[in-house]
Amino acid sequence: MAKRRRNGSRGNGRTARGGVQAQQQQQRKRPPIKALREPAIFANRSGSASDTPQEKVTLAQARRGTPAQRPVRVYADGIFDLFHSGHARALMQAKNLFPNTQLIVGVCSDALTHKYKGYTVMTEDERYEALIHCRYVDEVVRDAPWTLTSEFLKKHRIDFVAHDDIPYTSAGSEDVYKHIKEAGMFVATQRTEGISTSDIITRIVRDYDVYVRRNLQRGYTARELNVGFIKEKKYRLQQQVDRMKETVRTVEEKSKHLVHRVEEKSHDLIYKWEEKSREFIGNFLELFGPDKAWHMIQERSGRVLQALSPYQSPSTSPSSSPTRGRSTSPDSHWPLLRFRSPPPKEASISSSDGDEGDK
Protein backbone atom coordinates (compact mmCIF):
# COMPACT_ATOMS: atom_id res chain seq x y z
CA MET A 1 0.00 0.00 0.00
CA ALA A 2 2.80 2.33 0.86
CA LYS A 3 4.47 1.68 -2.49
CA ARG A 4 1.26 2.25 -4.35
CA ARG A 5 0.75 5.56 -2.56
CA ARG A 6 4.26 6.63 -3.35
CA ASN A 7 3.85 5.66 -6.96
CA GLY A 8 0.53 7.44 -7.09
CA SER A 9 1.99 10.57 -5.55
CA ARG A 10 4.80 10.50 -8.07
CA GLY A 11 2.30 10.18 -10.87
CA ASN A 12 0.32 13.15 -9.55
CA GLY A 13 3.52 15.19 -9.33
CA ARG A 14 4.39 14.37 -12.91
CA THR A 15 0.89 15.29 -14.03
CA ALA A 16 1.04 18.59 -12.16
CA ARG A 17 4.42 19.43 -13.66
CA GLY A 18 3.15 18.55 -17.10
CA GLY A 19 0.13 20.83 -16.61
CA VAL A 20 2.36 23.72 -15.55
CA GLN A 21 4.57 23.23 -18.59
CA ALA A 22 1.52 23.15 -20.86
CA GLN A 23 0.23 26.40 -19.36
CA GLN A 24 3.62 28.02 -19.85
CA GLN A 25 3.67 26.92 -23.48
CA GLN A 26 0.18 28.35 -24.02
CA GLN A 27 1.22 31.64 -22.48
CA ARG A 28 4.23 31.79 -24.78
CA LYS A 29 2.04 31.16 -27.82
CA ARG A 30 -0.43 33.92 -26.88
CA PRO A 31 0.23 37.29 -28.46
CA PRO A 32 1.28 40.05 -26.07
CA ILE A 33 -1.55 42.15 -24.67
CA LYS A 34 -1.49 45.67 -26.03
CA ALA A 35 -1.76 48.44 -23.47
CA LEU A 36 -3.25 50.85 -26.03
CA ARG A 37 -6.22 50.26 -28.26
CA GLU A 38 -7.26 51.60 -31.63
CA PRO A 39 -9.49 54.70 -31.79
CA ALA A 40 -13.22 54.07 -31.64
CA ILE A 41 -15.21 53.90 -34.88
CA PHE A 42 -17.87 56.34 -36.06
CA ALA A 43 -21.39 55.00 -36.29
CA ASN A 44 -22.91 54.51 -39.73
CA ARG A 45 -25.37 57.13 -40.86
CA SER A 46 -27.90 54.41 -41.58
CA GLY A 47 -27.58 52.91 -38.12
CA SER A 48 -26.22 49.59 -36.89
CA ALA A 49 -24.57 47.32 -39.45
CA SER A 50 -26.65 44.31 -38.38
CA ASP A 51 -30.10 44.06 -39.91
CA THR A 52 -31.27 41.14 -37.78
CA PRO A 53 -33.81 42.08 -35.15
CA GLN A 54 -32.33 42.49 -31.70
CA GLU A 55 -33.93 40.70 -28.79
CA LYS A 56 -34.76 42.81 -25.80
CA VAL A 57 -32.33 42.37 -22.90
CA THR A 58 -33.58 42.91 -19.39
CA LEU A 59 -31.54 44.63 -16.71
CA ALA A 60 -31.16 41.38 -14.76
CA GLN A 61 -29.91 39.52 -17.84
CA ALA A 62 -27.44 42.28 -18.63
CA ARG A 63 -26.04 42.20 -15.10
CA ARG A 64 -25.63 38.42 -15.18
CA GLY A 65 -23.74 38.65 -18.47
CA THR A 66 -24.61 38.08 -22.10
CA PRO A 67 -22.91 35.93 -24.75
CA ALA A 68 -19.79 37.28 -26.38
CA GLN A 69 -21.54 37.72 -29.73
CA ARG A 70 -24.34 39.69 -28.05
CA PRO A 71 -22.87 42.58 -26.01
CA VAL A 72 -25.16 44.96 -24.16
CA ARG A 73 -25.28 48.20 -26.16
CA VAL A 74 -25.23 51.18 -23.75
CA TYR A 75 -25.73 54.72 -25.06
CA ALA A 76 -24.41 57.91 -23.43
CA ASP A 77 -24.78 61.35 -24.98
CA GLY A 78 -23.54 64.85 -24.26
CA ILE A 79 -21.74 67.93 -25.55
CA PHE A 80 -18.28 66.97 -24.23
CA ASP A 81 -16.86 70.46 -24.68
CA LEU A 82 -13.32 70.84 -23.27
CA PHE A 83 -13.18 67.09 -22.65
CA HIS A 84 -11.99 66.57 -19.06
CA SER A 85 -11.73 63.92 -16.36
CA GLY A 86 -15.39 64.32 -15.36
CA HIS A 87 -16.46 63.24 -18.84
CA ALA A 88 -14.01 60.34 -18.84
CA ARG A 89 -15.17 59.07 -15.43
CA ALA A 90 -18.82 59.14 -16.55
CA LEU A 91 -17.96 57.10 -19.64
CA MET A 92 -15.92 54.70 -17.53
CA GLN A 93 -18.94 54.07 -15.32
CA ALA A 94 -21.14 53.49 -18.37
CA LYS A 95 -18.62 51.05 -19.83
CA ASN A 96 -18.45 49.06 -16.57
CA LEU A 97 -22.21 48.84 -15.96
CA PHE A 98 -22.37 45.25 -17.24
CA PRO A 99 -19.86 42.43 -17.77
CA ASN A 100 -20.19 42.59 -21.56
CA THR A 101 -20.79 46.18 -22.65
CA GLN A 102 -20.43 48.02 -25.92
CA LEU A 103 -20.48 51.76 -25.28
CA ILE A 104 -21.96 54.07 -27.92
CA VAL A 105 -21.47 57.80 -27.32
CA GLY A 106 -23.61 60.44 -29.03
CA VAL A 107 -22.16 63.94 -29.55
CA CYS A 108 -24.44 66.83 -30.45
CA SER A 109 -23.51 69.18 -33.29
CA ASP A 110 -22.58 72.84 -32.94
CA ALA A 111 -25.88 74.10 -34.36
CA LEU A 112 -27.96 72.04 -31.94
CA THR A 113 -25.77 72.89 -28.96
CA HIS A 114 -25.73 76.63 -29.67
CA LYS A 115 -29.51 76.56 -29.96
CA TYR A 116 -30.30 74.77 -26.69
CA LYS A 117 -27.29 75.27 -24.44
CA GLY A 118 -24.92 77.99 -25.66
CA TYR A 119 -21.68 78.65 -27.47
CA THR A 120 -18.95 76.03 -27.25
CA VAL A 121 -15.18 76.45 -27.05
CA MET A 122 -14.38 73.44 -29.24
CA THR A 123 -15.93 72.81 -32.62
CA GLU A 124 -18.00 69.70 -33.26
CA ASP A 125 -15.20 68.06 -35.25
CA GLU A 126 -12.77 68.64 -32.38
CA ARG A 127 -15.27 67.14 -29.94
CA TYR A 128 -15.86 64.12 -32.18
CA GLU A 129 -12.13 63.59 -32.44
CA ALA A 130 -11.69 63.84 -28.66
CA LEU A 131 -14.29 61.12 -28.04
CA ILE A 132 -12.91 58.49 -30.39
CA HIS A 133 -9.61 58.58 -28.48
CA CYS A 134 -11.21 57.82 -25.13
CA ARG A 135 -10.32 54.29 -24.05
CA TYR A 136 -13.87 53.47 -22.83
CA VAL A 137 -15.66 54.38 -26.07
CA ASP A 138 -16.44 51.76 -28.73
CA GLU A 139 -18.51 53.83 -31.16
CA VAL A 140 -19.27 57.54 -31.68
CA VAL A 141 -22.51 58.88 -33.12
CA ARG A 142 -22.06 62.27 -34.78
CA ASP A 143 -24.85 64.87 -34.84
CA ALA A 144 -26.71 63.10 -32.06
CA PRO A 145 -30.32 64.24 -31.33
CA TRP A 146 -31.10 66.41 -28.30
CA THR A 147 -34.06 64.23 -27.30
CA LEU A 148 -33.92 60.49 -27.88
CA THR A 149 -36.69 58.98 -29.93
CA SER A 150 -37.76 55.37 -30.30
CA GLU A 151 -36.66 55.44 -33.95
CA PHE A 152 -33.15 56.52 -32.94
CA LEU A 153 -32.96 53.77 -30.29
CA LYS A 154 -34.01 51.12 -32.80
CA LYS A 155 -31.71 52.49 -35.49
CA HIS A 156 -28.62 52.07 -33.28
CA ARG A 157 -29.91 48.96 -31.48
CA ILE A 158 -29.58 50.59 -28.04
CA ASP A 159 -30.45 48.55 -24.95
CA PHE A 160 -29.86 51.09 -22.17
CA VAL A 161 -29.13 54.80 -21.78
CA ALA A 162 -26.57 55.94 -19.19
CA HIS A 163 -26.59 59.41 -17.62
CA ASP A 164 -26.51 60.96 -14.16
CA ASP A 165 -29.84 60.80 -12.32
CA ILE A 166 -30.24 64.58 -11.92
CA PRO A 167 -33.24 65.78 -14.01
CA TYR A 168 -31.90 67.45 -17.15
CA THR A 169 -34.12 70.45 -17.88
CA SER A 170 -33.85 71.54 -21.52
CA ALA A 171 -35.83 72.12 -24.72
CA GLY A 172 -39.01 72.92 -22.82
CA SER A 173 -38.92 69.67 -20.83
CA GLU A 174 -38.36 69.18 -17.12
CA ASP A 175 -36.34 66.04 -17.84
CA VAL A 176 -35.35 64.97 -21.36
CA TYR A 177 -34.74 61.41 -20.07
CA LYS A 178 -38.17 61.02 -18.45
CA HIS A 179 -39.59 58.71 -21.14
CA ILE A 180 -36.37 56.62 -21.07
CA LYS A 181 -36.76 56.15 -17.32
CA GLU A 182 -40.38 55.17 -17.71
CA ALA A 183 -39.44 52.56 -20.32
CA GLY A 184 -36.95 50.94 -17.91
CA MET A 185 -33.97 51.68 -20.15
CA PHE A 186 -32.23 54.25 -17.95
CA VAL A 187 -29.12 53.41 -15.90
CA ALA A 188 -27.72 56.12 -13.59
CA THR A 189 -24.09 57.16 -13.29
CA GLN A 190 -22.45 59.48 -10.76
CA ARG A 191 -21.20 62.99 -11.48
CA THR A 192 -17.66 63.99 -10.56
CA GLU A 193 -17.79 66.97 -8.24
CA GLY A 194 -15.38 69.87 -8.63
CA ILE A 195 -14.85 69.60 -12.39
CA SER A 196 -17.03 70.65 -15.30
CA THR A 197 -16.82 72.60 -18.53
CA SER A 198 -18.48 75.59 -16.87
CA ASP A 199 -15.89 75.52 -14.06
CA ILE A 200 -13.02 75.57 -16.56
CA ILE A 201 -14.53 78.48 -18.48
CA THR A 202 -15.06 80.34 -15.19
CA ARG A 203 -11.38 79.99 -14.36
CA ILE A 204 -10.40 81.41 -17.76
CA VAL A 205 -12.77 84.36 -17.44
CA ARG A 206 -11.62 85.07 -13.88
CA ASP A 207 -7.95 85.15 -14.91
CA TYR A 208 -8.59 86.76 -18.30
CA ASP A 209 -5.69 89.26 -18.08
CA VAL A 210 -3.21 86.55 -17.14
CA TYR A 211 -4.10 84.39 -20.14
CA VAL A 212 -4.13 87.36 -22.56
CA ARG A 213 -0.63 88.36 -21.45
CA ARG A 214 0.46 84.73 -21.66
CA ASN A 215 -0.70 84.42 -25.28
CA LEU A 216 0.75 87.78 -26.26
CA GLN A 217 4.08 86.61 -24.91
CA ARG A 218 3.77 83.40 -26.95
CA GLY A 219 3.38 85.27 -30.23
CA TYR A 220 -0.38 85.76 -30.66
CA THR A 221 -1.44 89.13 -32.04
CA ALA A 222 -3.82 91.51 -30.35
CA ARG A 223 -6.22 91.08 -33.25
CA GLU A 224 -6.32 87.31 -32.78
CA LEU A 225 -7.07 87.84 -29.08
CA ASN A 226 -9.64 90.57 -29.81
CA VAL A 227 -7.70 93.09 -27.71
CA GLY A 228 -7.61 96.84 -28.42
CA PHE A 229 -4.50 98.96 -28.96
CA ILE A 230 -4.49 100.57 -25.50
CA LYS A 231 -5.04 97.27 -23.70
CA GLU A 232 -2.27 95.68 -25.70
CA LYS A 233 0.18 98.41 -24.64
CA LYS A 234 -1.01 98.05 -21.06
CA TYR A 235 -0.37 94.30 -21.11
CA ARG A 236 3.05 94.79 -22.71
CA LEU A 237 4.03 97.34 -20.04
CA GLN A 238 2.77 95.06 -17.29
CA GLN A 239 4.81 92.24 -18.77
CA GLN A 240 7.98 94.36 -18.63
CA VAL A 241 7.24 95.35 -15.02
CA ASP A 242 6.81 91.70 -14.10
CA ARG A 243 10.10 90.84 -15.77
CA MET A 244 11.85 93.60 -13.82
CA LYS A 245 10.31 92.34 -10.58
CA GLU A 246 11.45 88.84 -11.40
CA THR A 247 14.97 90.11 -12.09
CA VAL A 248 15.06 91.98 -8.77
CA ARG A 249 13.73 88.91 -7.00
CA THR A 250 16.42 86.78 -8.62
CA VAL A 251 19.16 89.22 -7.58
CA GLU A 252 17.82 89.23 -4.02
CA GLU A 253 17.84 85.45 -3.91
CA LYS A 254 21.39 85.34 -5.23
CA SER A 255 22.55 87.98 -2.72
CA LYS A 256 20.89 86.06 0.11
CA HIS A 257 22.65 82.94 -1.04
CA LEU A 258 25.98 84.78 -1.19
CA VAL A 259 25.51 86.26 2.31
CA HIS A 260 24.60 82.83 3.60
CA ARG A 261 27.76 81.36 2.12
CA VAL A 262 29.89 84.17 3.61
CA GLU A 263 28.31 83.55 7.00
CA GLU A 264 29.05 79.86 6.72
CA LYS A 265 32.67 80.60 5.79
CA SER A 266 33.04 83.08 8.68
CA HIS A 267 31.59 80.54 11.11
CA ASP A 268 34.07 77.97 9.83
CA LEU A 269 36.99 80.39 10.23
CA ILE A 270 35.93 81.34 13.77
CA TYR A 271 35.54 77.69 14.68
CA LYS A 272 38.99 76.85 13.29
CA TRP A 273 40.52 79.87 15.09
CA GLU A 274 38.96 78.73 18.36
CA GLU A 275 40.36 75.24 17.86
CA LYS A 276 43.84 76.62 17.14
CA SER A 277 43.68 78.96 20.13
CA ARG A 278 42.66 76.09 22.41
CA GLU A 279 45.51 74.01 21.03
CA PHE A 280 48.01 76.86 21.58
CA ILE A 281 46.83 77.46 25.14
CA GLY A 282 46.97 73.73 25.88
CA ASN A 283 50.54 73.49 24.61
CA PHE A 284 51.53 76.58 26.62
CA LEU A 285 50.06 75.15 29.82
CA GLU A 286 51.82 71.86 29.24
CA LEU A 287 55.11 73.71 28.83
CA PHE A 288 54.70 76.35 31.59
CA GLY A 289 52.34 74.62 33.95
CA PRO A 290 52.36 75.13 37.75
CA ASP A 291 54.65 72.10 38.23
CA LYS A 292 57.32 73.16 35.72
CA ALA A 293 57.28 76.94 35.59
CA TRP A 294 59.28 77.81 38.79
CA HIS A 295 61.84 75.09 38.24
CA MET A 296 62.53 76.32 34.72
CA ILE A 297 62.76 79.94 35.90
CA GLN A 298 65.30 79.01 38.59
CA GLU A 299 67.35 76.98 36.15
CA ARG A 300 67.41 79.74 33.58
CA SER A 301 68.26 82.43 36.21
CA GLY A 302 71.21 80.34 37.43
CA ARG A 303 72.53 80.09 33.93
CA VAL A 304 72.27 83.85 33.52
CA LEU A 305 74.14 84.52 36.79
CA GLN A 306 76.92 82.20 35.82
CA ALA A 307 77.28 83.94 32.53
CA LEU A 308 77.55 87.41 34.17
CA SER A 309 80.05 86.46 37.00
CA PRO A 310 83.87 87.09 36.40
CA TYR A 311 86.43 84.35 36.44
CA GLN A 312 87.93 83.56 39.95
CA SER A 313 91.53 84.70 40.77
CA PRO A 314 94.17 81.98 40.70
CA SER A 315 95.34 80.53 44.07
CA THR A 316 98.95 81.73 43.56
CA SER A 317 97.93 85.37 43.34
CA PRO A 318 99.44 87.39 46.20
CA SER A 319 96.34 89.44 46.59
CA SER A 320 94.20 86.41 47.07
CA SER A 321 93.62 85.18 50.55
CA PRO A 322 92.79 81.63 51.57
CA THR A 323 89.62 82.71 53.15
CA ARG A 324 88.51 84.60 50.05
CA GLY A 325 89.26 81.67 47.81
CA ARG A 326 87.31 79.31 50.05
CA SER A 327 84.36 81.67 50.45
CA THR A 328 81.03 80.08 49.59
CA SER A 329 78.81 83.08 50.12
CA PRO A 330 76.74 84.18 47.15
CA ASP A 331 78.26 87.64 47.37
CA SER A 332 81.72 86.34 46.47
CA HIS A 333 80.58 85.92 42.90
CA TRP A 334 79.51 89.55 42.63
CA PRO A 335 82.53 91.67 43.79
CA LEU A 336 81.89 94.39 41.24
CA LEU A 337 78.23 94.64 41.84
CA ARG A 338 78.33 95.17 45.67
CA PHE A 339 77.77 98.73 46.77
CA ARG A 340 79.19 99.90 50.08
CA SER A 341 77.25 102.46 51.97
CA PRO A 342 79.24 105.42 53.40
CA PRO A 343 80.25 105.14 57.07
CA PRO A 344 78.02 106.77 59.64
CA LYS A 345 78.89 110.23 60.96
CA GLU A 346 79.47 109.04 64.52
CA ALA A 347 82.11 106.64 63.33
CA SER A 348 83.99 109.42 61.49
CA ILE A 349 83.94 111.69 64.58
CA SER A 350 85.25 108.95 66.80
CA SER A 351 88.08 108.23 64.40
CA SER A 352 89.19 111.85 64.40
CA ASP A 353 89.46 111.92 68.22
CA GLY A 354 91.55 108.83 68.50
CA ASP A 355 93.71 110.17 71.32
CA GLU A 356 90.81 110.83 73.59
CA GLY A 357 89.52 107.35 73.05
CA ASP A 358 92.89 105.86 73.95
CA LYS A 359 93.01 107.77 77.18
Q: Which of 106, 79, 110, 81 is nearest to 94 (CA)?
A: 106
pLDDT at 352: 43
Three-state secondary structure call for residue 143: coil
Q: What is the pLDDT of residues 48-64, one digit of tens each?
A: 766 566 788 899 999 99
- Confirm if 141 and 108 have CB atoms less than 8 A apart: no
Measured distance CA(113)–CA(50) in Å, rounded: 30
Q: Residue 43 CB: number of other CB atoms within 10 A?
A: 20
Measured distance CA(46)–CA(156) in Å, rounded: 9
Per-residue pLDDT of the chain (359 residues; tens, 9 = 90+): 444 444 444 444 454 455 556 555 655 555 555 556 789 999 988 777 665 667 888 999 999 999 988 999 999 999 999 999 999 999 999 999 999 999 999 999 999 999 999 999 999 999 999 999 999 999 999 999 999 999 999 999 999 999 999 988 876 788 899 999 999 999 999 999 999 999 999 999 999 999 998 999 899 999 999 999 998 888 888 888 888 888 888 888 888 888 878 877 787 788 778 888 877 777 777 766 655 555 566 666 666 556 656 555 555 545 444 444 444 444 444 444 444 545 555 444 444 444 444 43
Where helices occur in 288-344 by DSSP H, the ranges are 293-308, 322-325
pLDDT at 342: 54
Residue type present at position 3: K
pLDDT at 221: 92
pLDDT at 263: 78
Return the CATH superfamily for domain 41-195.
HUPs (3.40.50.620)
Angle at 141 between CA 140 and CA 142, to 5 degrees: 110
Measured distance CA(99)–CA(103) in Å, rounded: 12
Strand partners, 173: 170
Q: What is the pLDDT of residues 123-142, one digit of tens each?
A: 999 999 999 999 999 999 99
- 237 phi and psi angles, rounded to 5 deg: -65, -40
Measured distance CA(266)–CA(18) in Å, rounded: 76
Angle at 173 between CA 74 and CA 166, to 5 degrees: 55
